[in-house]
Amino acid sequence: MVTLERLRGDHAIALLAFERENREYFARSVPDRGDDYFAEFAARHGALLAEQATGVIHFHVIVDDQGDLVGRINLVDVENGTAELGYRIGERAAGRGLATAAVGRLCHLAAGAYGLAALRARTTRDNPASAAVLERNRFTAVEDIVLDGRPGTRYERALGAPS
């Protein structure tokens, strides 16, 4: 079981620790955030919270049964009833179905609380686990793309009324 918590100021310390702990792991499949991300984390966190208050982004942390922050999941570029989905699960929590569960919960939130009608997502082809998470959550591959210089796929999912 996972819980999604809307990003808050008091998540900063745990989120920074999560990002530091998983930096090398994430860099294997997505571009590294760079040293400035970590050096300027507090200011960036505050800016994201301010932007979230405008409704154009929705950031969440993923918390496991033990109360540990194990991932993050976001909706960005919210506009005209759609948004772009992004997520990352830490290495210690990978392979336990947490990403699949978190994406399912966020789809429900997106349709209900955020009033969205559709979501988009992208992944590289060398990240089959991410593609599987999307496909398990009824996302459909719609286009071949190049993502950060690597072959990838763009996905879409229409959202129905929350059940």
The per-residue pLDDT of the chain, averaged, comes to: 94
* Contact between residue 136 and residue 102 where contact means Cβ atoms under 8 Å apart: no
* pLDDT tens digits for range 52-84: 999 999 999 999 999 999 999 999 999 999 999
pLDDT of residue 161: 57
Q: What pTM does this model have?
A: 0.92
- What is the assigned CATH class of domain 3-158? alpha beta
- Alpha carbon separation from 126 to 48, 116, 147, 152, 159 (Å, rounded): 29, 29, 11, 8, 27
* pLDDT tens digits for range 132-160: 999 999 999 999 999 888 899 999 999 98
Domains of the chain, by residue range, sit at 3-158
Residue 163 pLDDT exceeds 50? no
